[in-house]
């Protein structure tokens, strides 16, 4: 039985599907790298979207990074909230805005990055997602205890389903 998309998600349905592609990582403290990626965004009939991201190093396909969580509408029109868990010992709560098929999210104002005692020293994250036709492009900026907010990831994914 296929579930209806919750009416509160209407403006976010452009994200639904399985997206695959590749990206480039960089940061002031590391060497640049290339990776392959899959993002799955699905609904279960409730007022949130399930978000699952997986990436592998290009070439040898070694696991690189995974994120699991939820994307949900906020309390105001065009407001969006992102709640993610990272395997680096982090949780991310970001708030942002939806403009057409673009989403800007940040932990800077009302968001938070929390970490376990051994978690990565990330202190802030900003994301931008843009969908045009069946192509999703994104950028992720990251700040750590030692490095100001800087571009970390950029990718291009194509909708597969």
Q: What is the DSSP letter of 27?
A: E
Round to whole Å and give the CA distance between 140 and 39. Answer: 14
Helix (H, G, I), strand (E, B) or coil at 11: helix
**pLDDT tens digits along 135-150:** 999 999 999 999 999 9
pLDDT at 24: 99
The pLDDT of residue 1 is 53
Q: State how far Cα 35 lies from the chain centre.
A: 15
Domains and CATH numbers, the chain: 17-159 (2.40.128.20)
The whole-model pTM stands at 0.95
The sign of the dihedral angle between the CA atoms of 72, 75, 80, 83 is: negative
Below-50 pLDDT ranges, the chain: none
Q: What is the pLDDT of residue 3?
A: 74
């Amino acid at each position: 039985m296929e579930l209806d998309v919750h009416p509160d998600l209407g403006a976010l349905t452009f994200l639904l599907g399985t997206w695959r592609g590749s990206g480039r990582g960089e940061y002031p403290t590391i060497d640049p790298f290339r990776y392959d990626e899959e993002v799955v965004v699905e609904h279960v009939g409730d007022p949130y979207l399930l978000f699952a991201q997986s990436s592998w190093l290009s070439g040898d396909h070694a696991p690189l990074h995974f994120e699991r969580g939820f994307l949900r509408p906020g309390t105001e029109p065009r407001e969006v909230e992102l709640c993610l868990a990272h395997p680096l010992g982090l949780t991310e709560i970001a708030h942002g805005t939806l403009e057409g098929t673009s989403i800007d999210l940040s932990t800077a104002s009302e968001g938070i990055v929390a970490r376990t005692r051994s978690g990565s020293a990330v202190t802030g994250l900003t994301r931008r997602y843009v969908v045009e036709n069946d192509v999703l492009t994104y950028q992720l900026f990251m700040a750590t205890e030692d490095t100001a907010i800087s571009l970390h990831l950029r990718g291009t994914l194509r909708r597969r389903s």
